[in-house]
Structure 1
């Protein structure tokens, strides 16, 4: 198993976790579920970095995950180019 494959797999898995976190935030009843709490524990610190930079528009529309996905993808591309 190559290092490039491992890096790509880890970033893909974290991307899925971010997606699950974002979708689960639309359903308040899901917040008490153990899976959502697990995902939140690992994704909220990363998302909070961007929430500080981009507060919700109009107080309700949180666009910080867009920037979070972009930065995550950028970090993956940089690491893959270094280790390829």
Structure 2
């Protein structure tokens, strides 16, 4: 199906936490310093964000300038 030129077409993108960090241009070290966490904690979150608290998710979403609705929460199976 081809969209009519007058139709609104919505494209949804999802980011892993790591993809959001990389897209925003933050290194692991800088992100850790701003977020107040260790490198090990960030690496764990980037590998599996399924147990991320709402407060931490909001903090990371704000820092990385990515809508919290477009972040994938779960195991990162992308290498």
Structure with the bigger percentage of helix: 1
Greater relative contact order (Cα < 8 A, sep 6+): 2
Question: Which TM-score band applies after superposition, normalised by the shorter structure?
Answer: under 0.3
Give the TM-score normalised by structure 1.
0.27
TM-score of the two chains, using structure 2 as the length reference: 0.28
